[in-house]
């Protein structure tokens, strides 16, 4: 009855992968909750059909959609257009199908998206804003209770849907409605295990599991929307994570786990987490994201002893003023110290840098390039240089005037951290193009060693 859809997310510039990650973890949580409520649900991950042409993919969507009436589609900013194309196929099959959108992009631009869609194509029925484990399920139950009839504008339905927080939709005569911000914080430990058993091994088995250990972020980086999407920072309990690891290992196809997001935002949790993964029961290769600037040598040792295979970390820039202006409060010297500790224990590093942030100059860029060259990286380490991108929900998007940036490109397909989206007073497009070319040369040098 319910079909959850993950659009194709691989960027055109990415080479064919030798491993396959799971789709959006949020969809796996939603599937698990629907299943617990005895609501038939399936998941389709369009990454599984990345080798097919568009016509073949459309045919697959058509064939699967026939058996469903309610469709939950997630999207990132640069996959939103693809998600809308999927919605168009579904509505063409049956205009009375219910289409519910969710994910970060629509969570910040829901009003503009709904109004534009209403006057152009009328594809989206509802948008679930923010964390959808509660409001999406409540909405699905309400639709099913009414036998999926087209009762969207009946008084009884409107009254009931308005009691569900975090829903937006268009009422009759094009009137926009938002039911209010969700007030109850979701306890991650109380969520069921992600429904990995719902993932079909079409074309390949999933081999890399994504495990969420927290939501929210205590940091305030200008280029990130995470702190606005998740209003509070929450950690899962260790026992909850243990149970999920056991579940992943029992499925037998997985050989690696990615833990998200920064796992060392709480030092006590970090130590308990690493000590748990040292035990033979939980030994499986894994990687994680960390704040490297507050990493101690003992932390690096804990990671090594726990069988950590790689750490990813956002360094962004080596210029203190650029970092400060963008609310990335870290000391480049502490970053270098943390990397030395990690490399002392021979753990590979994936380091992320951002070009073109407000305050960036040719001089600060060269300072970062020299910083990279002096890091103790080996052939096992990689760097990624991204273009600063003002994602909806980020400070760069919400307060572009404050940061002195001029957004030049509003084509969301290009919001992939590879295109030049805005200029600053210091850096115009031509200069940014030249700097990006140099950044990609440095990236290629480190990544081909």
What's the token pair of residue 412? 């969301």
Using CA atoms, how far apart are residues 118 and 108, in angstroms rounded to an integer?
Answer: 18
Fold match between domain 2-178 and domain 207-447: no
Say whether domain 207-447 belongs to CATH 3.20.20.70.
yes
Q: Which DSSP symbol is given to 31? A: H
Q: Which DSSP symbol is given to 21? A: B
Q: Own/partner pairs for 122-125, CB < 8 Å, 24+ apart? A: 122/91, 123/84, 123/87, 123/88, 123/91, 123/99, 124/87, 124/99, 124/100, 125/98, 125/99, 125/100, 125/152, 125/169
Q: Nearest CA to 177 among 99, 111, 123?
A: 111
Give phi and psi for 126, each to the nearest 5: -145, 155
Q: With contact defined as beta carbons under 8 Å apart, do 35 and 195 qualify?
A: yes
Kindly give the confidence (pLDDT) of every residue in the chain, 449 residues in length, as a single tens digit, with 9 standing for 90 and above.
899 999 987 755 554 555 567 888 999 999 999 999 999 999 999 988 877 888 888 898 999 898 899 999 999 999 999 999 999 999 999 999 999 999 999 999 999 999 999 999 999 999 999 999 999 999 999 999 887 666 666 777 778 898 999 999 998 888 999 999 999 899 999 999 999 999 988 877 889 999 999 999 889 999 999 989 998 999 999 999 999 999 999 998 899 999 998 999 999 999 999 999 999 888 899 999 999 999 999 999 999 999 999 999 999 999 999 999 999 999 999 999 999 999 999 999 999 999 999 999 999 999 999 999 999 999 999 999 999 999 999 999 999 999 999 999 999 999 999 999 999 999 999 999 999 999 999 999 887 75
Neighbours of 210 (CB within 10 A): 16
User: Domains of the chain: which residue ranges?
Assistant: 2-178, 207-447
CB-based burial label for 270 (10 Å; 0-12, 13-18, 19+): buried
Q: With contact defined as beta carbons under 8 Å apart, do 154 and 204 qualify?
A: no
Q: What beta strand segments (E) does 356-439 contain?
A: 382-387, 405-407, 422-424
Using CA atoms, how far apart are residues 282 and 19, in angstroms rounded to an integer?
Answer: 21
Strand arrangement, sheet containing 176-178? 41-45, 2-6, 70-74, 98-102, 126-128, 167-170, 176-178
| CATH ID of 2-178, from 3.40.50.2300, 3.40.630.10, 3.30.420.590, 3.40.50.300 | 3.40.50.2300
């Amino acid at each position: 009855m319910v079909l959850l859809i993950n659009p194709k997310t691989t960027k055109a510039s990415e080479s064919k992968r030798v491993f396959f990650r799971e789709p959006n973890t949020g969809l796996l949580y939603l599937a698990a909750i629907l299943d617990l409520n005895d609501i038939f649900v399936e998941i389709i991950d369009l990454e599984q059909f990345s080798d097919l042409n568009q016509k073949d993919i459309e045919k697959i969507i058509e064939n699967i959609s026939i058996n469903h009436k309610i469709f939950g589609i997630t999207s990132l900013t640069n996959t939103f257009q693809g998600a809308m194309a999927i919605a168009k196929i579904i509505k063409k099959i049956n205009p009375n199908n219910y289409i519910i959108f969710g994910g970060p992009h629509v969570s910040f631009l829901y009003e503009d998206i709904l109004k534009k869609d209403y006057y152009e194509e009328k594809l989206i029925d509802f948008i679930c804003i923010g964390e959808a484990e509660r409001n999406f399920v409540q909405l699905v139950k309400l639709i099913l209770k009414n036998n999926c009839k087209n009762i969207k504008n009946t008084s009884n339905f409107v009254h009931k849907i308005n009691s569900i927080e975090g829903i937006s939709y268009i009422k009759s005569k094009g009137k926009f409605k938002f039911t209010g911000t969700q007030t109850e914080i979701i306890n991650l430990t109380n969520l069921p295990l992600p429904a990995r058993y719902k993932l079909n091994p079409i074309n390949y088995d999933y081999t890399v599991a994504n495990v969420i250990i927290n939501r929210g972020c205590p940091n305030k980086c200008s280029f990130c929307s995470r702190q606005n999407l998740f209003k509070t920072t929450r950690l899962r309990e260790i026992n909850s994570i243990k149970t999920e690891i056991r579940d992943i290992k029992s499925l037998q196809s997985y050989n690696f786990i990615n833990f998200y997001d920064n796992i060392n935002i709480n030092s006590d949790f970090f130590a308990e987490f690493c000590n748990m993964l040292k035990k033979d029961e939980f030994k499986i290769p894994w990687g994680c994201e960390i704040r490297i600037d507050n990493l101690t040598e003992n932390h690096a040792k804990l990671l090594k002893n726990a069988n950590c295979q790689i750490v990813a970390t956002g360094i962004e820039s080596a210029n203190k003023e650029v970092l400060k202006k963008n609310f990335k409060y870290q000391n480049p010297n502490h970053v270098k110290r943390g990397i030395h500790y990690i490399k002392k224990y021979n753990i590979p590093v994936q380091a992320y840098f951002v070009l073109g942030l407000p305050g960036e100059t040719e001089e600060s860029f060269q300072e970062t390039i020299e910083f990279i060259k002096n890091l103790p990286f080996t052939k096992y380490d990689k760097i990624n240089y991204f273009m600063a991108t003002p994602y909806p929900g980020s400070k760069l998007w919400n307060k572009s005037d404050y940061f002195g940036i001029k957004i030049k490109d509003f084509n969301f397909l290009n919001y992939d951290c590879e295109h030049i989206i805005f200029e600053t007073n210091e850096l115009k497009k031509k200069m940014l193009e030249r700097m990006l070319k140099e950044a990609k040369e440095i990236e290629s040098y480190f990544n081909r060693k």
